């Protein structure tokens, strides 16, 4: 479980005068399930990239368990992400030619962290997400099954935070619902902080806290509303 | 990582195959040129190794060696037969053997020579033994004729065509062991038989055939006939006198005429003036040569010592004769060969550079197309170095396979060319790798490693967030 604190975050991109994301303050409690919503270009993906260390923080602070990731180098952020973040993406980003098990294990193997315990956990996770054929090649799976493999991969190294970017967007209603259920269940089971960017109202409304972005700014936060109330 | 690389290569097998093919072809070209050129040098040097000194009439040194050592048919000027007698009697000479050529049978050149040459240049007989009579022949290891086979000599070569002496036949009595030289595909007969067939030479075996030796032919005829052994595709085949070098012709006719006129056997004349003699198949060999011996295109000489070899070469470099060390002539030829190799090597290097450029282009495009995949690897926690390693090793594996196949293919091509060359000339080309080829392989591998690092570096430096957005 990781707590998140963002302070005075400003993200700019070249050739644009206005920043694409400005967050003066945001705190997310450990184990909280946060939904980030907003239209296209609202800054959702930028926020997730900043939170996961994919993009460098140049202005402001992003503290996970009170540790700022802004000063970390590119390689340092890679290592931090590998240890702490489980990523689930809309396009799965699975690697064809490999089995489900090999896909789950790939990042750990590339990081030199795939020991016997990790292998056993990969088998357990695939069983947990409802896949009974770990040796099935990824390209022969349905999209729903692929996203299950992606969730298993995200959970492999017991991340403190699961960050999901539109995890149900490329799935049919039924598969989307099942994947949503699964995400919430495994996050609860592992007590991970869960941050989901989504347009899927059925998934969003099931999360503890909902944050709405527009033009790179937080325009609604139900937690703040509740506090105010 | 290995399973990921292999899965990736399996998935992109067609592109990988084309890359490997390009690298293999470019490498094979360079390897074939290098290995073949070296084999040609070694093979020709080994083929000439057995012949210490070659004496011929003044003319082209290269042509003399090519004709007498490598048995390449070409018109050579003649020198007086007296040169042979003088050399044979020289105390500095272990043996001196005449070489008379110009006839062929089934594509194999028929060489008139002596037992001394056979003994001095071969390692013995695989079957049968030396010729002991005028009508006997021995064959080289690569001549496909059994013992007892009949050989009806044809003027000239199979390519140029010519009249066949149907009335004359040699009988194969021996097969020498392989020598790895053009002599392996030659038919060796007593030189006296060659002279007699062409109506030349003295009658050394007085116990028979007296009626063949009318003698006293006019000098022109004798001179004409004296050329026969020396003109493989001109005089022998068709007596195309116009093809002779005028200076040589004049001088040689004169020389040969002097010696040949008196000794000219009784002979027939065919329509174009060709002289036909006869041989006595059972006639004994006479290998004692006098000043009256017919004109000769070449004499192979085995000096007793190195000092003798140098002295003899000096002495026989006169206005009328030429003496050469075959190795010396070959060294000059290698100079020309080296120039040709340089051109071919430049072509090979050019093709390799083009392939390297194509490889780089393709791999950079490939990395660009895989940006999202590479970004995803980074996003899921793969270290940058691991991403670098994946891209680098994928490309380097292809380069490695290509270079290995190229070396194999180049070697195979050189072997095939070498085998064809051996079948054609008899010279065995030792197609083999040398230590310097290992150096070439290492250089190619080093270049491959550097080239593979360029797209790998691109992948290494790629921002995962930007890659995922692309």
Other CB atoms within a 10 A radius of the CB of residue A148 amount to 24
Q: Kindly determine whether residue A106 and residue B378, on different chains, have CB atoms separated by under 8 Å.
A: no
Q: Kindly determine whether residue B3 and residue A49, on different chains, have CB atoms separated by under 8 Å.
A: no
Q: How far is B14 from chain A (nearest CA, A)?
A: 15
Is pLDDT of B211 > 80? Answer: no
Say if residues A71 and A59 touch (Cβ distance below 8 Å). no
Q: Does A14 touch chain B (CB under 8 A)?
A: no
d(CA B130, CA B144): 18
By C-alpha distance, the chain A residue nearest B390 is: A110
Is pLDDT of B282 > 80? Answer: no
**What pLDDT shows up at residue B51?**
84
* Better-predicted residue by pLDDT, B355 or B442: B442
Q: Enumerate the residues of chain B whose CB falls inside 8 A of the CB of residue A160.
A: none
**What pLDDT shows up at residue B372?**
86
Q: How confident is the model at residue B47 (pLDDT cuts 50, 70, 90)?
A: confident
Give the one of A54, A95, A107 whose C-beta lies nearest to B465's C-beta: A54
Give the one of A74, A81, A106 whose C-beta lies nearest to B4's C-beta: A106
Is pLDDT of B413 > 70? Answer: yes
Among candidate residues B389, B194, B360, the one with its CA nearest the CA of residue B293: B194
DSSP state of B273: S
Average pLDDT (B189-214) is 58
Average pLDDT (B154-180) is 77
* φ/ψ bin of B215: left (φ > 0), alpha (ψ from -120 to 50), beta (otherwise): left
Q: Kindly determine whether residue A78 and residue B382, on different chains, have CB atoms separated by under 8 Å.
A: yes
Q: How far is B459 from chain A (nearest CA, A)?
A: 13
DSSP state of B265: P
Tell me: the pLDDT tens digits for A73-98? 988 898 899 889 999 988 888 988 89
**What pLDDT shows up at residue B247?**
38
Q: How confident is the model at residue B159 (pLDDT cuts 50, 70, 90)?
A: low
Q: Does A44 touch chain B (CB under 8 A)?
A: no
Give the one of A74, A87, A102 whose C-beta lies nearest to B379's C-beta: A87
Determine the distance from the C-alpha atom of residue B239 to the mean position of all C-alpha atoms in its chain, rounded to a whole number: 27
Q: Kindly determine whether residue A98 and residue B386, on different chains, have CB atoms separated by under 8 Å.
A: no
Other CB atoms within a 10 A radius of the CB of residue A76 amount to 12
**What pLDDT shows up at residue B264?**
42
Q: Which of B8, B11, B15, B379 to mutate to test the interface with A (most CBs of A within 10 A)?
A: B379
**What pLDDT shows up at residue B266?**
42
Q: Does A157 touch chain B (CB under 8 A)?
A: yes
Is pLDDT of B163 > 70? Answer: no
High-pLDDT (> 70) share of chain B, %: 80
Residue A88 lies inside a defined structural domain of this protein: yes
Q: Please provide the distance, in angstroms rounded to a whole number, between the alpha carbons at the two ends of chain B.
A: 24
How many pairs of residues across A and B have Cβ atoms under 8 Å apart?
82
Q: Kindly determine whether residue A97 and residue B11, on different chains, have CB atoms separated by under 8 Å.
A: yes
Q: How far is A20 from chain B (nearest CA, A)?
A: 15
**What pLDDT shows up at residue B257?**
31
Residue A208 sits in which domain range? 4-223
- Considering its fold, how many domains does chain A have in total? 1
Give the one of A55, A91, A110 whose C-beta lies nearest to B465's C-beta: A55
Tell me: the pLDDT tens digits for B70-112? 888 777 888 888 898 899 899 999 999 998 887 888 888 899 9
Tell me: the pLDDT tens digits for A158-177? 899 999 998 888 888 888 88
Token pair in block for residue B330: 């070959």
Q: Enumerate the residues of chain B whose CB falls inside 8 A of the CB of residue A14.
A: none
Q: Kindly determine whether residue B3 and residue A107, on different chains, have CB atoms separated by under 8 Å.
A: no
Q: How confident is the model at residue B233 (pLDDT cuts 50, 70, 90)?
A: very low
Q: Does A97 touch chain B (CB under 8 A)?
A: yes
Residue A229 lies inside a defined structural domain of this protein: no
Average pLDDT (A39-61) is 92
Q: Does B470 touch chain A (CB under 8 A)?
A: no
Q: Enumerate the residues of chain A whose CB falls inside 8 A of the CB of residue B4.
A: 95, 98, 102, 106, 109-110
Token pair in block for residue B274: 């060709």
**What pLDDT shows up at residue B206?**
38
Q: Does B384 touch chain A (CB under 8 A)?
A: yes
Average pLDDT (B24-31) is 90
Average pLDDT (B200-205) is 51
Q: How confident is the model at residue B40 (pLDDT cuts 50, 70, 90)?
A: confident
Percentages helix, strand, coil for chain B (3-state, rounded to 5) are: 55, 15, 30
Say if residues B98 and B299 touch (Cβ distance below 8 Å). yes
Q: Which of A48, A107, A112, A156 to mutate to test the interface with B (most CBs of B within 10 A)?
A: A107
Residue A89 lies inside a defined structural domain of this protein: yes
Q: Kindly determine whether residue B376 and residue A93, on different chains, have CB atoms separated by under 8 Å.
A: yes
Q: Enumerate the residues of chain B whose CB falls inside 8 A of the CB of residue A153.
A: 380
Other CB atoms within a 10 A radius of the CB of residue A7 amount to 15
Question: Strands B275-276 and B268-269, how do they pair?
Answer: antiparallel
Listed range (A99-113, B128-142, B198-212) with the worst mean pLDDT: B198-212
Q: Enumerate the residues of chain A whose CB falls inside 8 A of the CB of residue B373.
A: 93, 95
Tell me: the pLDDT tens digits for B301-313? 999 999 999 999 9
Q: What are the start-end ranges of the H helices in B235-370?
A: 235-238, 246-263, 306-315, 326-369
Listed range (A44-48, A205-209, B142-146, B166-170) with the worst mean pLDDT: B166-170
Q: Does A119 touch chain B (CB under 8 A)?
A: no
Is pLDDT of B139 > 60? Answer: yes
Q: Kindly determine whether residue A93 and residue B465, on different chains, have CB atoms separated by under 8 Å.
A: no
Q: HEC string of chain A?
A: CCCEEEEEEEECCCCCCCCCEEEEEEEECCCCEEEEEECCCCCHHHHHHHHHCCCCCCCCEEEECCEECCCCCHHHHHHHHHHHEEEEECCCCCCCCCEHHHHHHHHHHHCCCCCHHHHHHHHHHHHHCCCCCCCCEHHHCCHHHHHHHHHHHHHCCCCCEEEEECCCCCCCHHHHHHHHHHHHHHHHHHCCEEEEECCCHHHHCCCCEEEEEECCEEEEEHHHHHHHC
Q: Enumerate the residues of chain A whose CB falls inside 8 A of the CB of residue B382.
A: 78, 82, 106-107, 110-111
CATH code of the domain covering residue A59: 3.40.50.300
**What pLDDT shows up at residue A50?**
94
Is pLDDT of B239 > 60? Answer: no
Q: How far is B453 from chain A (nearest CA, A)?
A: 18
Q: How many angstroms separate the most distant Cα atoms in chain B?
A: 108
Burial class (CB in 10 A: 0-12, 13-18, 19+), B289: buried
Say if residues B382 and A111 touch (Cβ distance below 8 Å). yes
Q: Does A81 touch chain B (CB under 8 A)?
A: yes
DSSP state of B296: B
Q: Does A103 touch chain B (CB under 8 A)?
A: no
Q: How far is A41 from chain B (nearest CA, A)?
A: 12
* Better-predicted residue by pLDDT, B254 or B156: B156
By C-alpha distance, the chain A residue nearest B378 is: A78
Q: Kindly determine whether residue A54 and residue B468, on different chains, have CB atoms separated by under 8 Å.
A: yes
Residue A228 lies inside a defined structural domain of this protein: no
Q: Does B335 touch chain A (CB under 8 A)?
A: no
Q: Enumerate the residues of chain B whose CB falls inside 8 A of the CB of residue A109.
A: 1, 4
Residue A212 lies inside a defined structural domain of this protein: yes
Residues 103-122 of B with CB under 8 A from A: none
Residues 11-30 of B with CB under 8 A from A: 11
């Amino acid at each position: 479980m990781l707590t998140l604190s963002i302070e005075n975050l400003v993200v700019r991109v070249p050739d644009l005068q206005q920043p694409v994301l400005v967050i003066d303050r945001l705190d997310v409690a450990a184990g909280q399930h946060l939904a980030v919503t907003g239209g296209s270009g609202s800054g959702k993906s930028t926020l997730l990239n900043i939170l996961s260390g994919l993009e460098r923080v140049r202005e402001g602070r992003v503290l996970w368990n009170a540790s700022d990731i802004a000063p970390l180098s590119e390689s340092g952020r890679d290592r931090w992400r590998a240890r702490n973040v489980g990523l689930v993406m809309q396009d799965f980003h699975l690697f064809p030619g490999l089995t489900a098990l090999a896909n789950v294990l790939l990042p750990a193997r590339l990081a030199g962290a795939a020991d016997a315990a990790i292998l056993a956990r990969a088998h357990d996770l695939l069983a947990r997400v409802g896949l009974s054929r770990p040796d099935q090649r990824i390209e022969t799976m349905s999209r729903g099954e692929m996203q299950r493999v992606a969730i298993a991969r995200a959970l492999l190294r017991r991340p403190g935070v699961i960050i999901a970017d539109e995890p149900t967007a490329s799935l049919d209603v039924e598969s989307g619902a099942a994947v949503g259920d699964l995400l919430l269940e495994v996050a609860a089971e592992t007590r991970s902080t869960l941050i989901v960017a989504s347009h899927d109202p059925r998934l969003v409304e099931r999360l503890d806290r909902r944050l709405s972005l527009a033009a790179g700014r937080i325009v609604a936060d139900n937690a703040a509303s509740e506090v105010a109330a | 990582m290995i399973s990921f690389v292999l899965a990736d290569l399996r998935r992109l097998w067609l592109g990988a195959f084309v890359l490997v093919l390009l690298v293999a072809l470019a490498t094979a070209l360079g390897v074939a040129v290098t290995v073949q050129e070296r084999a040609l040098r070694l093979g020709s040097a080994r083929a000439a190794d057995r012949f210490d000194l070659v004496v011929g009439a003044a003319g082209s040194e290269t042509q003399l060696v090519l004709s007498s050592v490598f048995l390449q048919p070409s018109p050579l000027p003649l020198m007086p037969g007296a040169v042979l007698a003088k050399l044979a009697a020289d105390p500095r000479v272990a043996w001196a053997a005449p070489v008379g050529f110009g006839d062929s049978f089934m594509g194999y050149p028929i060489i008139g020579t002596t037992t001394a040459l056979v003994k001095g240049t071969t390692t013995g007989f695989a079957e049968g033994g030396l010729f002991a009579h005028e009508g006997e022949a021995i064959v080289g290891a690569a001549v496909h004729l059994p013992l007892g086979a009949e050989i009806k000599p044809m003027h000239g070569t199979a390519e140029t065509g010519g009249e066949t002496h149907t009335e004359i036949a040699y009988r194969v009595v021996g097969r020498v062991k392989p020598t790895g030289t053009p002599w392996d595909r030659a038919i060796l007969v007593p030189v006296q038989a060659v002279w007699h067939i062409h109506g030349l030479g003295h009658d050394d075996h007085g116990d028979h055939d007296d009626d063949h030796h009318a003698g006293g032919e006019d000098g022109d005829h004798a001179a004409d006939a004296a050329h026969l052994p020396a003109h493989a595709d001109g005089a022998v085949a068709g007596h195309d006198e116009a093809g002779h070098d005028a200076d040589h012709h004049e001088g040689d006719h004169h020389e040969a005429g002097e010696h040949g006129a008196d000794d000219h056997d009784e002979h027939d004349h065919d329509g174009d003036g060709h002289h036909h003699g006869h041989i006595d198949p059972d006639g004994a060999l006479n290998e004692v040569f006098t000043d009256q011996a017919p004109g000769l295109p070449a004499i192979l000489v085995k000096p007793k010592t190195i000092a003798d070899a140098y002295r003899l070469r000096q002495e026989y470099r006169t206005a009328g004769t030429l003496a050469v060390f075959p190795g010396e002539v070959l060294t000059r030829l290698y100079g020309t060969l080296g120039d040709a190799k340089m051109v071919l090597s430049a072509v090979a290097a050019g093709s390799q550079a083009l392939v390297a450029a194509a490889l780089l282009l393709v791999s950079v495009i490939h990395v660009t197309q895989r940006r999202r995949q590479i970004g995803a690897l980074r996003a899921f926690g793969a270290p940058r170095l691991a991403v670098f390693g994946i891209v680098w090793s994928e490309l380097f594996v292809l380069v490695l396979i290509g270079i290995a196949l190229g070396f194999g293919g180049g070697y195979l091509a050189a072997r095939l060319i070498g085998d064809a060359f051996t079948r054609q000339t008899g010279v065995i080309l030792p197609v083999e790798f040398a230590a310097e080829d290992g150096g070439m392989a290492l250089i190619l591998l080093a270049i491959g490693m550097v080239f593979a690092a360029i797209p790998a570096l691109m992948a290494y430096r790629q921002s995962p967030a930007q890659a995922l957005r692309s």
